[in-house]
């Protein structure tokens, strides 16, 4: 067990190192001079541009820049954002929690709803409720996120705020703040859930369908178990593996947020920060977000690997 764990974690660390190196190389391919982009539309002289280049270190040869970046990154320092003049990790940290709050909440809810509907659908496949729920889920899955978001916002009138995470004039005590944030979260959360739960539903439904005619279910029934116990304790656990993979893949992506939902509802999250960094290009910020986002996916994959062993004895044996 320990060896298996060490192997997985070691592999993840190697991947992460690779990501850190790739983070540098990848973004040098983007065309554009960050210094020109930074000073566009402002009165600057050629000398000031040269000074700025020197200060940012972009006038050095590429290999020297790479060594600088790598040594700093290994110390956990991703430099200072060109645009915000603040440490990259601080900027990311600032946006991390709103993103995790929004995408985390909606992912958990979407998973619960999706799995529940998927199990029900498979168990009574072909029934009217199965057809309706699968069809509805697919229709929502096909909707453009921004369109659904705007539609919800229009349809609910002034019941919910049109954007942001809180009003500036909410009293600072915890309860008022929490209620205000929850109020602001309703629409973005609904939008995200509506669009993504279909995939959990479908994967759960199809993997459960594969188990439906297995002999062990007949055995269980022969033992006299109630139908929903057969489902819950025999069929579902065996059908859960593909779904767990999917769920953890998505948990890894939770950090990257959802650019469209964040944009439509002006949610102060990480998704848009990445996009903004790309338009600069704000190189340190890009590298930082890239490593953090990739890191989250890698970590979640390790968790998924470990969880398989808990969920399914067959994985342990192999």
Partner 1 sequence: MGIRRFGAVTAAMTLVVLLAPTPAQAQQAVTLRVAITQQVDSLNPFLSVFQAGTEVGRLMYDYLTAYDVKDQRPVEGLADQWESSEDRLTWTFHVPEGKKWSDGQPITAEDVAFTYDLMMRDETAATANGSFTADFESVTATDDRTLVIKTKQPQATMLALDVPIVPAHVWSKVADIGEYRNDQTPVVGSGPFILTEYRANEFIRFKANKDYWRGAPKYDELTFTYYKTADAAVQALTKGEVDLVNRMGPAQFDSLKDKDGITRNQAQGRRFNEIVINSGAATRTGEPIGDGHPALKDVVVRRAIAKSLDLDAIIAKVNGGYAQRGTGPIPPVFGDYHLKPEPAHPYDPAAANAELDRAGYARGADGIRVSPQGRRMELRLLGHASRAYDEQTGEFVKRSLADLGIVVDVQIVSDNQLNEAGTAGTFDLQFSGWGTNPDPDFILSLHTCGQRPNADGKGGTTDTFFCDAEYDALYAQQRAEFDPAKRRELVLKMQQRFYDQVPAVVLGYDNALEAYRSDKFASFPVQPDPGGVIMAQNGVWGYYGATPVASAGSDTGSNTGLVLGVVGGALVVLVGGAWLIGRRRGLRAEDRE
**Contact set with partner 1 (CB under 8 A):** 30-33, 36-53, 55, 80, 83-86, 94-95, 150, 153-154, 156-171, 175-176, 179-180, 182-183, 186, 223, 225-226, 229, 262-266, 268, 272, 276, 279, 281
Q: Among residues 170 and 206, whose Cβ is nearest to partner 1?
A: 170
- Rounded to the nearest 5°, which phi and psi values hold at 161? -65, 150
Integer angstrom CA distances of residue 297 from 53, 98, 192, 247, 293: 34, 18, 19, 11, 7
Rounded-to-10 torsion of CA 226, 230, 232, 233: 120
Q: Among residues 158 and 215, whose Cβ is nearest to partner 1?
A: 158
CB of 43 to partner 1, least distance (A): 4
Q: Among residues 101 and 306, whose Cβ is nearest to partner 1?
A: 101
Question: Are the beta carbons of 275 and 259 closer than 8 angstroms?
Answer: yes
Q: CB-based burial of residue 203 (10 Å sphere; 0-12 exposed, 13-18 middle, 19+ buried)?
A: buried
Which helix (DSSP H) or strand (DSSP E) does residue 99 occupy?
Answer: helix 88-123
CB of 301 to partner 1, least distance (A): 29
Residue 233 gets which letter from DSSP? I
CB of 70 to partner 1, least distance (A): 23
CB of 75 to partner 1, least distance (A): 18
Q: Among residues 118 and 161, whose Cβ is nearest to partner 1?
A: 161
How far, rounded to the nearest angstrom, does the alpha carbon of residue 7 sit from its chain's CA centroid?
25
3-state secondary structure of 104: helix
Q: Among residues 5 and 30, whose Cβ is nearest to partner 1?
A: 30
Q: Among residues 43 and 76, whose Cβ is nearest to partner 1?
A: 43
CB of 4 to partner 1, least distance (A): 32
Query: Residue 126 corresponds to which tokens in the numbers above?
Result: 């072909």
- Any bridge partners for residue 80, and if so which? 87
Integer angstrom CA distances of residue 118 from 18, 113, 128, 307: 38, 8, 14, 21
CB of 281 to partner 1, least distance (A): 6
CB of 126 to partner 1, least distance (A): 26
Nearest to 29 by CA among 284, 288, 281, 293: 281
H helix and E strand count, the chain = 15, 0
Query: Residue 3 corresponds to which tokens in the numbers above?
Result: 């060896």
Q: Among residues 193 and 254, whose Cβ is nearest to partner 1?
A: 193
CB of 18 to partner 1, least distance (A): 26
Cα–Cα distance for residue pair 206/199, rounded to 1 Å: 11
Q: Among residues 82 and 290, whose Cβ is nearest to partner 1?
A: 82
């Amino acid at each position: 067990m320990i060896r298996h764990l060490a192997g997985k974690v070691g592999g993840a660390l190697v991947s992460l190192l690779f990501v850190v190196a790739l983070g540098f190389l990848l973004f040098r391919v983007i065309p554009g001079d960050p210094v020109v982009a930074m000073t566009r539309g402002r009165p600057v002289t050629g000398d000031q541009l040269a000074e700025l280049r020197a200060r940012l270190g972009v006038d050095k040869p590429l290999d020297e820049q790479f060594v600088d970046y790598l040594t700093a990154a290994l110390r956990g320092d991703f430099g200072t954002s060109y645009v915000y003049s603040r440490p990259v990790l601080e900027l990311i940290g600032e946006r991390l929690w709103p993103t995790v709050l929004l995408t985390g909440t909606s992912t958990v809810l979407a998973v619960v709803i999706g799995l529940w509907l998927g199990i029900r659908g498979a168990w009574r496949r072909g029934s009217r409720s199965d057809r309706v729920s699968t069809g509805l889920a697919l229709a929502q899955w096909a909707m453009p996120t921004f369109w659904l978001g705007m539609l919800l916002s229009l349809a609910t009138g002034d019941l919910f705020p049109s954007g942001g995470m809180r009003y500036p004039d909410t009293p600072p005590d915890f309860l008022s703040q929490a209620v205000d944030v929850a109020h602001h979260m309703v629409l973005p959360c609904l939008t995200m859930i509506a669009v993504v739960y279909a995939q959990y539903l479908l994967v759960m439904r199809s993997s459960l369908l594969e188990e439906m005619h297995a002999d062990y279910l007949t055995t269980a029934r022969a033992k006299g178990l109630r139908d929903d116990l057969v489902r819950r304790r025999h069929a579902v656990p065996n059908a859960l593996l593909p779904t767990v993979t999917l769920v953890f893949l998505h948990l890894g992506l939770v950090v990257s947020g959802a650019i469209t939902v964040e944009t439509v509802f002006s949610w102060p999250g990480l998704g848009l920060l990445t996009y903004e960094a790309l338009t600069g290009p704000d190189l340190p910020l890009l590298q930082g977000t890239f490593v953090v986002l990739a890191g989250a996916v890698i970590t979640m994959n390790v968790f998924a690997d470990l969880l398989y062993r808990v969920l399914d004895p067959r994985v342990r044996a192999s």
